[in-house]
């Protein structure tokens, strides 16, 4: 209830007490006391809007292709489970962690208007940015074939009942991370924590000319308006290469980091430094910038086409450190490349070994395996073997535990 409404109620209370010719001064004073107490009680029920991180509701999505279930997490706990349909074959629905970058009501499809009974996309489209694309290839959407839900039926997208996808789309926001896998689900989100919208504060200053403010963290998201160079906005979040800002009309929007600078306020902890790693990385976008340093503002050393492979020498939460053909060190951002390594088999050499979610002794233990267990090694990260579990999940085991 707003302050104006409080004053209105206060006036009504006082009028009801004071009307009538027979009221004495004592009665009027008593009425005023009752009014004052009522106002205090009313104010006590009002909750001011939360600020900073407290105002941020964290949503994450898990999709299990094996069971065809979608888990919606709210602040770390499963809020709801929905049945879905996924790809006809194992390879069609891409596994990994991808952000939702665009939401469309009643999407059109190949000349069929949105909302038409023959439109296979149903009532909503929640587009995923898979390896840097614009959110138009893979998505979580409705369907005109509800009988397919719970089966493997799609060409790669994730289908939901129309009533379910409407509910989901109204709940989540652009930047929500979606973890897709075909392993086991245990009511714990185990996707890539680097992906998704993180709360932040401070300000963002537009440094480019006529910069687009978009609905989501992607060039495939809709343009809300164009921002002038030098304007400053409150920063509300960070998602990969994008700042989330609050526009003067109160709407949240995303601005590409390369065209803005951030200052002040608090933000999520910075990513760790570059740690040694081995294997290869391959470019996943049409043309990728190879930079001299791990920064989007660093000089571009060269450009690489999709499919180009480089030797991996290190990595952190955002950057791959690579070695060029001339022997020099350079960097590729995680959004434009992925790690790809030659696989080998290693064997556990201790009685019981921890398999962890990250290359750190303090990282979460995903499972414990006995001596003699064979594992598929895909690379190294510091003192840890990087391995691929049967579920397809990337995990790590210390080099002292397996050979």
Q: Does domain 344-398 have CATH number 3.10.28.10?
A: no
User: How high is the pLDDT of residue 174?
Assistant: 96
User: How high is the pLDDT of residue 42?
Assistant: 37
Contact 35, 24 (CB under 8 A): no
Domain boundaries, the chain: 59-181, 198-263, 275-337, 344-398
Contact 82, 69 (CB under 8 A): yes
List the pLDDT tens digit at each of the 403 positions of the chain: 232 222 223 233 222 232 232 344 444 444 444 444 443 443 333 333 333 333 578 999 999 999 999 999 999 999 999 999 999 999 999 999 999 999 999 999 999 999 999 999 999 999 999 988 899 999 999 999 999 999 999 999 999 999 999 999 999 999 999 999 999 999 999 988 878 998 988 999 999 999 999 999 999 999 999 999 999 999 999 998 899 999 999 999 999 998 999 887 644 444 447 888 878 899 988 888 999 888 877 888 999 998 898 888 888 878 899 988 887 889 998 888 888 766 788 999 999 999 998 878 888 899 999 999 999 887 777 788 888 888 878 888 998 999 9
Contact 369, 355 (CB under 8 A): yes
Measured at the CA of 15, the angle between CA 9 and CA 20, to 5 degrees, comes to 160
Q: Smallest Cα–Cα separation from 380: which of 311, 329, 300?
A: 311
Topology of 198-263 in CATH? SH3 type barrels. (2.30.30)
3-state secondary structure of 162: helix
- Statement: the pTM of the whole predicted model exceeds 0.85: no
User: How high is the pLDDT of residue 328?
Assistant: 86
Catalytic positions are: 141, 157
User: How high is the pLDDT of residue 388?
Assistant: 84
Q: 198-263 with 344-398: one CATH topology?
A: yes
The superfamily in CATH containing domain 59-181 is L,D-transpeptidase catalytic domain-like (2.40.440.10)
**Phi-psi region for residue 101, left (φ > 0), alpha (ψ -120 to 50) or beta?**
alpha
Q: Smallest Cα–Cα separation from 260: which of 203, 321, 327?
A: 203
User: How high is the pLDDT of residue 55?
Assistant: 53
Q: Could you give the count of Cα atoms lying within 13 Å of 2 in the half-sphere of its Cβ?
A: 1
d(CA 364, CA 106): 41
- Condensed to tens digits (0 to 9), the pLDDT of residues 196-210 reads 998 988 999 999 999
Topology of 275-337 in CATH? SH3 type barrels. (2.30.30)
3-state secondary structure of 232: strand
User: How high is the pLDDT of residue 114?
Assistant: 93
């Amino acid at each position: 209830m707003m302050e104006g409404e409080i004053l209105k109620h206060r006036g009504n209370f006082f009028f009801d007490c004071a009307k009538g010719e027979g009221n004495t001064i004592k009665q009027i004073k008593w009425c005023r006391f009752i009014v004052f107490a009522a106002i205090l009680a009313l104010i006590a029920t009002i909750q001011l809007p939360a600020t900073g991180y407290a105002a941020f509701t964290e949503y994450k999505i898990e999709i299990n292709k094996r069971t065809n279930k979608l888990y919606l997490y709210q602040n770390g706990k499963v809020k709801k489970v929905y049945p879905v349909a996924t790809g006809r074959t194992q390879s069609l629905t891409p596994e990994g962690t991808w952000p939702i970058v665009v939401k469309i009501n009643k999407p059109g499809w190949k000349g069929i208007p949105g909302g038409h009974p023959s439109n296979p996309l149903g009532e909503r489209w929640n587009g995923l940015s898979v390896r840097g694309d614009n959110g138009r290839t893979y998505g979580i959407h409705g369907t005109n074939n509800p009988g397919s839900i719970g089966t493997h039926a799609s060409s790669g997208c994730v289908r939901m009942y129309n009533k379910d996808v409407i509910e989901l789309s109204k709940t989540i926001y652009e930047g929500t991370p979606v973890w897709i896998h075909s392993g086991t689900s245990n009511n714990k989100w185990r996707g890539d924590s680097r992906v998704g919208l993180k709360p932040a504060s401070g300000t963002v200053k537009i440094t480019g000319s006529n910069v687009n403010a978009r609905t989501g963290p992607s060039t495939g998201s809709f343009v809300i308006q164009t921002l002038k160079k030098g304007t400053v906005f409150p920063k509300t979040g960070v998602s990969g290469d994008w700042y989330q800002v609050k526009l003067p009309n109160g709407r949240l929007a995303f601005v590409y980091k390369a065209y803005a600078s951030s200052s002040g306020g608090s933000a999520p902890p910075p990513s760790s430094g570059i740690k040694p790693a081995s294997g290869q990385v391959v470019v996943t976008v049409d043309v990728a910038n190879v930079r001299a340093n791990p920064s989007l503002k660093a000089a571009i050393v060269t450009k690489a086409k999709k499919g180009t492979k480089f030797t991996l020498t290190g990595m952190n939460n955002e950057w791959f450190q690579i070695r060029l053909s001339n022997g020099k060190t350079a960097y590729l951002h995680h959004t434009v490349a992925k790690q790809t390594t030659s696989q080998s088999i290693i064997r556990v050499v201790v009685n019981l070994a921890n398999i962890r979610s990250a290359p750190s002794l303090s990282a979460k233990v995903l499972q414990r395996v006995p001596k003699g267990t064979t594992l598929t090694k895909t690379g190294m990260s510091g003192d840890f073997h990087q391995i691929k579990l049967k579920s397809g999940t990337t995990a790590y085991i210390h080099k002292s535990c397996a050979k």
